[in-house]
């Protein structure tokens, strides 16, 4: 589960076939960790797809148009429908640029392995502690931010 969750999230986000609703950058910026699903849906609208993962985690998948290289976003909810993670999928290899931007916003590097970066920081809106996981696969870069306590008990 620890290493598979980010990969599964990436696959679920990319595999969506029919666009129901496309999220935009302004709407995505209004979403914060630990927000109830009902509030997220009121901001982003109906997701393209909802996928259930292990341990009752659900991922709402949203395509993102007109914001290249960002192409998809995913909202990860716990069993109580609280947002515990958010993923962003970018076309191309941009993990270095994303990591540098996070560092400028106070994140610190926890791990740097080939193809995987982990950073720790806080949500700029709620000041909740976060862990960011950045991975590159098949000319895509995925960053998934998790609420820190959730990450340490379910993902790490």
Handedness of CA 6, 11, 14, 18 (dihedral sign): negative
For residue 24, the model assigns a pLDDT of: 76
| pLDDT at residue number 15 | 43
Can you say how many angstroms the Cα of residue 79 is from the centroid of all Cα atoms in its chain?
17
The 8-class DSSP code of residue 153 comes to: I
Q: Kindly indicate the confidence band of residue 54, based on its pLDDT and cuts at 50, 70 and 90.
A: confident
Tens digit of pLDDT for each residue in 74-98?
999 998 999 999 999 999 999 999 9
pLDDT of 7-34, one tens digit each?
445 444 444 433 334 677 888 989 999 9
Half-sphere exposure (Cβ direction) of 14: Cα atoms closer than 13 Å:
15
Q: Would you state the pLDDT for residue 22?
A: 61
Give the C-alpha separation, 64 to 147, whole Å: 23
> Does 38 have pLDDT greater than 90?
yes
Structure tokens at 113: 């392995």
What pLDDT shows up at residue 11?
45
**In which band, very low, low, confident or very high, does the pLDDT at 111 lie, cut at 50, 70 and 90?**
confident
CA dist 81 → 36, 95, 145 (Å): 6, 29, 16
Judged against a pLDDT cut of 90, whether residue 154 lies above it is answered with: no
Is-above-0.95 flag for pTM? no
CA–CA separation, 8 vs 4, rounded Å? 6
- For residue 12, the model assigns a pLDDT of 46
Indicate whether 41 pLDDT > 70. Answer: yes
């Amino acid at each position: 589960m620890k290493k598979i969750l980010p990969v599964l999230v990436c696959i679920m986000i990319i595999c969506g076939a029919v666009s129901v609703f496309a999220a935009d950058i302004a709407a995505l910026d209004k979403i914060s960790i630990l927000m109830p699903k009902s509030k997220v849906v009121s901001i982003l609208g109906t997701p393209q797809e909802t996928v259930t993962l292990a341990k009752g985690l659900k991922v709402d998948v949203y395509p993102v148009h007109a914001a290249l290289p960002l192409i998809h976003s995913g909202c990860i909810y716990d069993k109580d429908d609280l947002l515990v993670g958010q993923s962003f999928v970018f076309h191309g290899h941009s993990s270095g640029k994303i990591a540098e931007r996070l560092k400028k916003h106070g994140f610190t590097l926890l791990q740097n392995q080939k193809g995987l970066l982990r950073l720790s920081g806080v949500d700029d809106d709620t000041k909740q502690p976060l862990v960011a996981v950045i991975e590159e696969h098949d000319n895509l870069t995925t960053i998934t931010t998790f609420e820190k306590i959730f990450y340490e008990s379910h993902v790490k």
